[in-house]
Structure 1
Amino acid sequence: MTDTPWAALWHDRYRTPADAPTEDVPLTAVIEQQYRHRSVRRFLDADVSDAEIRAIVGAAQSASVSSNLQVWSVIAVRDPDRRHRIATAIGNRGFIEAASVLLVFVADFARATHVVRATGEPTEAIDYLENTLVGFVDAGIAGQNAILAAESLGLGGVFLGSIRNAPLAVADVLGLPEYVFPVFGIAIGHPDPEDTAGIKPRLPQSAVLHWDAYDVDAWETSADAYEERIAEYYDEQEQHGYSWKATLANRLRSVEGLHGRDAIRAQLAQQGLPSN
């Protein structure tokens, strides 16, 4: 394993040689970039050009979409005041202001409803959860394309699910109309070379990869091993005492772990998407 092209990448992503691909599997440039993905929260004071943003959004639009509905949009937020207001509203995320641009991906049924109603057709199905899910899922797929495109240009960024901590405040800052809902953001900029954040280990594949049917026992031993590996990673980052199991518990034990997102259904309804 240690002599294969996969060795370093596999170690950084999983911290174990188990199940690593052999030399029979080519290590392509695309796969290598995907394995090297890391979240970047420290940025240089350097601009991301309009041309780079357009290239990134073009990559996002090249992602798969459900039934060619194309029910997402993205707002590129450069304005410092707007970024400050968003950063404050969602929990004082200072790196939003340090980044060159904040891309806010939205589920966008304003465009779709306008097009359909202009033909004289009704839009009753806008009220149902399936359509909301399509907007969210397709935006997420597009967002992953966007971050990989940004990284391929030498940029870096971090996803912001915390946009959903205060979606109506974000909607107000961005002037989102009815039928448009903020799903997540990506703060993008030039990575600070002194940033020591590394490639965060993921659960072993034995915990997430099932063959032919779901194996309810497959993940237990692997999850225990991961608890140790992720703690080692955070120790290297001088963030001692991290526990993945505690992170899960903090999210699941009570509604407080949702950071206000328990109100999302009502907030969706306020934007015209009741998601029945």
Structure 2
Amino acid sequence: MNDIIKLLHHHRSIRQFKDETLSQETIATLVRAAQSASTSSYVQAYSIIGITDPAIKRQLRDISGQSYVEHNGHLFIFIADFNRHQALGEHLNQPIADYFGTTESLIVGTVDAALASQNMAIAAESMGLGICYIGSLRNDMQQVIDLLDLPEYTYPLFGMVVGVPESEGSQKERLPIDVVYHENRYQAFDYGDYAEYDAATSAYYKERTNGARNDQWSEQVVGMLSQKARLDVDAVIKRQGFLQQ
């Protein structure tokens, strides 16, 4: 097993960081790594906003409800971004706004940003830094848009905190490969394939919380998905010019 595979297998989210701000050189290195990711048709439909203003960090922390959004080495916000493409279309007198109303454009922007962010995550971990994705910024997507002055044809997807780890964190075991990887056609669901994983997850939480939690993965995920959450996201994205068709 080579060092890159070991790094990938060692991944865990870090939520406690030392009070060390990332240097501009490190930030530039991480952004360049993100930009090296694959991108659909060379469109590069994303932007990355680095948050250095303490007041903005505090407001984003309040939206997310997570203290490490404020206390980290650097906070990056990943934006699906077709605003520049719209401006280029106007500059070249070639209207392209109809494309942004399609579901395909939503997928392209989201995937482009996700690929870039994962490149950044791997680069950061290779430098001995820790990372954690912040999807909870979508708790109030409109407030994030207003706070960051995001224009039409953009929408915020998630944040990523990066910094020097205060602690190693803990690693959650992933689903068995047999239920994730299918050959040739989709395999029918069989709970027996998940029972051992549920037991392992329960043991993980029991050990991590000194017995305060022992929920299984299936119970946790189904319970979360059964709740109606972030129902405003659809309307906000449409106000930004997407999903019009």
Q: TM-score, normalised by structure 1?
A: 0.84
Does residue 236 (structure 1) correspond to residue 202 (structure 2)? The answer is no
Residue number among 223, 226, 242 corresponding to 1:253 in the alignment: 226
Aligned partner letter, 1:237:
R
Residue number among 211, 214, 220 corresponding to 2:183 in the alignment: 211
**Aligned-pair distance for 1:243?**
2.4
Residue number among 113, 123, 141 corresponding to 2:115 in the alignment: 141
Does residue 264 (structure 1) correspond to residue 226 (structure 2)? The answer is no
Alignment map for 1:86-101 (pairs within 5 Å): 86-90=60-64, 92-101=65-74
Q: How many residues align?
A: 242
Q: Distance in 2 between matches of 1:244 and 1:150?
A: 28
In 1, are the aligned partners of 2:60 and 2:70 still within 8 Å (CA)?
Answer: no
In 1, are the aligned partners of 2:79 and 2:156 still within 8 Å (CA)?
Answer: yes
Deviation digits for residues 18-60 of structure 1 (CA, Å, limit 9, x no counterpart): xxxxxxxxx1111110000100000111111111111111111
Does residue 274 (structure 1) correspond to residue 225 (structure 2)? The answer is no
Does residue 62 (structure 1) correspond to residue 36 (structure 2)? The answer is yes
Residue number among 193, 198, 202 corresponding to 1:222 in the alignment: 193
Does residue 119 (structure 1) correspond to residue 87 (structure 2)? The answer is no
Structure 1 counterpart of 2:2: 28
Structure 1 counterpart of 2:159: 185
Structure 2 counterpart of 1:6: none
The alpha-carbon distance between structure 1 residues 159 and 275, as it changes in their structure 2 partners (threshold 3 A), is farther
Q: Distance in 2 between matches of 1:33 and 1:222?
A: 27
Does residue 106 (structure 1) correspond to residue 79 (structure 2)? The answer is yes
Q: Distance in 2 between matches of 1:246 and 1:126?
A: 38
Higher relative contact order (CA 8 A, sep 6+): 2
Structure 1 counterpart of 2:106: 132
Q: Distance in 2 between matches of 1:72 and 1:248?
A: 29
SS of residue matched to 1:166: helix
Q: Distance in 2 between matches of 1:221 and 1:100?
A: 43
Sequence identity percentage: 33
Q: Distance in 1 between matches of 2:214 and 2:203?
A: 9
- Gaps (5+ residues) in structure 2? none
Does residue 82 (structure 1) correspond to residue 53 (structure 2)? The answer is no
Aligned partner letter, 1:39:
S
SS of residue matched to 1:98: coil
CA RMSD of aligned residues (A): 1.4
SS of residue matched to 2:172: coil
Deviating above 6 A after TM superposition, structure 1's stretches of 4 or more consecutive aligned residues are none
In 2, are the aligned partners of 1:203 and 1:222 still within 8 Å (CA)?
Answer: no
In 2, are the aligned partners of 1:100 and 1:189 still within 8 Å (CA)?
Answer: yes
In 2, are the aligned partners of 1:266 and 1:274 still within 8 Å (CA)?
Answer: no
Does residue 200 (structure 1) correspond to residue 200 (structure 2)? The answer is no
Q: Distance in 2 between matches of 1:166 and 1:81?
A: 17
SS of residue matched to 2:70: helix
Aligned partner letter, 2:180:
V
Aligned partner letter, 2:127:
L
Q: Distance in 2 between matches of 1:58 and 1:187?
A: 17
SS of residue matched to 2:38: coil
**Aligned-pair distance for 1:275?**
4.8
**Aligned-pair distance for 1:107?**
0.4
Q: Distance in 1 between matches of 2:187 and 2:197?
A: 18
**Aligned-pair distance for 1:251?**
2.5
Q: TM-score, normalised by structure 2?
A: 0.94
**Aligned-pair distance for 1:119?**
0.7
